Every structure is written in structure tokens, then in C-alpha cells.
Structure 1
Amino acid sequence: LVIRATRIAAGVRIADNMPDETRLRAILSDENVRRLQDRLRAGGGMEGPTEQWTSEPPPGADPGHTTSFSIADHEGNFVCITQSLGSVFGSGVAVPGTGVLLNNFLYWADVQPGSPNLAKPGQPLAMCMAPSISTRDGEPCLALGTPGSYGILQTQAQALVSHLDFGLGLQTAIDAPRARLWDGRLVEIENRVAPEVLVALRE
């Protein structure tokens, strides 16, 4: 169910990566949510994009340059930061006196003709960073972030579902085996998943 929900959510995000306020209200409306729930429960195979409008990876894409950290103090303040260079040494430019490298994420911009997210002058760059702070009764209770390119949006959801819905301890939920969806119908599952579970998923 989580895998199907991830596929549906990716399609919604890609079709409306930066919706205006009116469109966002329509996406989050009860009517649209019920429609998505019906798709989720319908069963059967699903396919679609998971990253950008095009299945082509950004030129020069290079993994391993994203970090995330979460901090809470005794006064109840929470911070969750996810930072990425984009590729090796980012833009190759460091802020003088800091050693901090600037990223080169502009190369992730969607430049595919026909894409609803086609890069335009002055438009914010759609990004897959998703640091999160969860609240209970209006107060922060959990900060969670992760590296992983577009997998960030999948990893965090799976960890949160394991912790909040299935009651796993936070570290156990983070350490639990996960799946990564790719474009089309491909689902990559960690080899720590029990063989009988894989058989059931294939069915």
C-alpha cells in the first residue's frame, strides 16, 4: 500500500511541482483526496514517473553529496536541515572564510519541452529536499530528514509510516528495510527484506 501511495504521490508532485494557492487547494480538497484514495485501493499494477517529467537523469548527476541533521534541545526547540551540494564540490565556489561550498542545483532544472515544470526566469527551482518537523497538539515532537536525491521523498514517508502507523521505535523505523521506486514500474527493494515478503509483493 505504501509503494502504491508513493507512486501516486510522485505523479501528483510531478504534474504540479509548484502549484499556486488555488491549485494547491484543489489538490488538497476532500474530493481530490477521495479520488486518490480510490486509486490507491483499486489494486493492480501501477506505473509512472517518480523524479521529473522526463525519465532522463540530470547530466552529471552524482550521488552522495547530501546530508541531513535534526536537533532538539531541552527547551523544546527543533531544527531539521537537509543540505546538498548537488554533485562533487557543488558549484566549485566556496564562501570566503567559511569553507562552505555553494551547490550547483540549477542543473536539476526541468528543461524538457512540454513539462508542466519547465524552468522559467524568476521561478523558484523545484527541489526534492524535505526536512520535516512533526507536531503533537501544536508542539514539535519529531524532526526527521534524510539524504537520497528524489528518494528523500520516499525514505522519509516510509520511516514515518513505520514509526507513526506501525509503532516502531524511531531508530528501528529509520533502520528498517525500504523500497525505492523508479520511473515506469520498477521497484527496488533492499535485500534485507525477507524472501517470503518479496514473493507476496510479486503476487
Structure 2
Amino acid sequence: AVVPVRGLLSKSYARERRGLIQPGRAGNPAPGAPHGWSDTIYLTAADAEGNMCSLINSLFAHFGSGITGGETGIVLQNRGWGFNLEEGHPNCIAPGKRPFHTIIPGFVMRDGEPWMSYGIMGGDMQPQGHVQVLSNLLDFGMDIQEAIDAPRFRVLGGRKVAVENGVPDAVLAELRRRGHEVERAGGYEGFGGGQGIVRLPGGVYMAGSDHRRDGCAVGF
């Protein structure tokens, strides 16, 4: 394994980690800079001719299948884990069949032309996040950055719903009154991370990048 020596010996990093210690209570601080995470990534690109590309890639679980392609160092994904062995099940394993998964590179056309290329990472938050970002644009008139930044909710299963900070307490109270089991999340974990590009009238592009994850929007 690669040991992040520079990070471990950094005085500023040590001060940062020390600040997470609370003498009067037990804590559960997440790994810091020396710990490298590697999960789903999303990227999108567009050119002056109006061509747009939407790409999402994921190993699925940690090191994927644990198998590399020859000597390339490229680890193969293990989405096959999602198959079901129950005969007759929609996701039952079969020759030439792809497993059900949530890898969704979003792409929206308008009047037969590419209009928006976008994607939301985050497991089963992907389809939920796609719908919410698209609705923010179409139904609430937000631009792409506003649509990505807006507070999200996540259906956890059944009546259970998690919501981010930013959703008014009155909304949560009304949802609970209607029978939903609502919890307010303390952070952004579990609500995905998105990027997107929208083609504006006249051929100008506007891009957005999610503050919940690493990423940036660049034009050149």
C-alpha cells in the first residue's frame, strides 16, 4: 500500500485532526486527507459544435471484482453481483444479459438537439437525484448550478425519507402529518454528487459542479 507520508507528517494536518477531538465525549471522525477514497465518477464535456458527452464510471464495490485487465492496472467492476438466482425474477442471471444497476449518464434533448448533459453519483440516489435536478430546472426555473446545489431528499424505502438541511421545518412537519417517516440528515453523505452542462440559447454553455463532492466546472 502507498503510505501518505507527507500527509501524516504535516503539522497543519495534525492540527486539523486534533480539532476533531472532544475531551468530554466519544467521537467518530471520518478518515482525513491521508485516506484515499475511490468510488463512482461522473464527467461531462461539450464542444463549440454542440456535441455533448455524458459519462459515468463505477467499480461498484470498493475494489470491484478484484481482477485487473492483464498488466494494465485497470480493475474490472463487479456489477454482476446485482444478479438474482431466483428463476423468473426480472434480474435473474442469463447469458448475454446485463444486471440491473443505477449507472445513469443523464442526457436531455430539446427540439431534437442536445440540451443538457448531466449525472448524479451515489448508488440508488442516482435516479432520485436525476429527477430532482431535472425538476429544479424545468419546474422551478433554476439554472444548472442552482439545480445541483438545491437541497435534496432521498427515499430510503417504504415511508422513510431523509432530507438535507435547507428544507424548511414546515415541509418536514407536513410530510410527517401525511404519514411519512422523515429524518433530517446532518450532512451531505448519501445524497449523491452531480455535474452538468446546459446549452443556452445562442450556443453558450453553462456548467455546474456539486459542492457535495470533489469536482469543478472548466471552460476553455
TM-score category, normalised to shorter length: 0.5 to 0.7
Q: Could you say which residue in structure 2 is the equivalent of 1:194?
A: 168
Deviation at 1:119, TM superposition (A): 2.2
- RCO comparison, higher one (Cα < 8 Å, 6+): 1
Q: What stretches of structure 2 of length at least 5 have no aligned partner? A: 1-36, 178-220
Asked if residue 168 in structure 1 is aligned to residue 142 in structure 2, the reply is: yes
Q: Which letter does structure 2 place at the counterpart of 1:180? A: R
Deviation at 1:86, TM superposition (A): 0.8
Q: Could you say which residue in structure 1 is the equivalent of 2:8?
A: none
Alignment partners' CA distance in 1, 2:137 and 2:72: 37
Alignment partners' CA distance in 1, 2:173 and 2:118: 31
**Greater Cα shift, 113-122 or 183-192:** 113-122
Q: Could you say which residue in structure 2 is the equivalent of 1:92?
A: 66
The higher radius of gyration belongs to 2
Alignment partners' CA distance in 2, 1:85 and 1:200: 39
Q: What stretches of structure 1 of length at least 5 have no aligned partner? A: 1-62
Alignment partners' CA distance in 1, 2:38 and 2:164: 18
Deviation at 1:197, TM superposition (A): 1.7
Deviation at 1:94, TM superposition (A): 2.7
Cα gap change, 1:165 to 1:132, in 2 (>3 Å): same
Cα gap change, 1:64 to 1:98, in 2 (>3 Å): closer
TM-score where L is the length of structure 2: 0.58
TM-score where L is the length of structure 1: 0.63
Alignment partners' CA distance in 2, 1:70 and 1:101: 22
RMSD of Structure 2 on Structure 1 (CA): 2.0
Runs of 4+ in structure 1 off by over 6 angstroms are none
Count of residues paired in the alignment: 141
Q: Could you say which residue in structure 2 is the equivalent of 1:38?
A: none
Alignment partners' CA distance in 2, 1:90 and 1:169: 35
**Greater Cα shift, 126-135 or 89-98:** 89-98
1:14-53 CA-partner distances (Å, limit 9, x unpaired):
xxxxxxxxxxxxxxxxxxxxxxxxxxxxxxxxxxxxxxxx
Deviation at 1:85, TM superposition (A): 0.4
1:49-64 correspondence runs (5 A): none
Alignment partners' CA distance in 1, 2:137 and 2:173: 25
Higher share in helix: 1
Alignment partners' CA distance in 2, 1:115 and 1:185: 25
Deviation at 1:199, TM superposition (A): 1.2
Deviation at 1:120, TM superposition (A): 2.5
Cα gap change, 1:154 to 1:64, in 2 (>3 Å): farther
Q: Could you say which residue in structure 2 is the equivalent of 1:141?
A: 115
Q: 2:46 aligns with which of 57, 63, 72?
A: 72
1:59-94 CA-partner distances (Å, limit 9, x unpaired):
xxxx96211111111111100011110111211223
Alignment partners' CA distance in 1, 2:169 and 2:86: 40
Q: Could you say which residue in structure 1 is the equivalent of 2:131?
A: 157
Alignment partners' CA distance in 2, 1:198 and 1:130: 29
Q: Which letter does structure 2 place at the counterpart of 1:103? A: Q
Deviation at 1:193, TM superposition (A): 1.4
Q: Could you say which residue in structure 2 is the equivalent of 1:121?
A: 95
Deviation at 1:122, TM superposition (A): 3.0
Q: Which letter does structure 1 place at the counterpart of 2:164? A: E
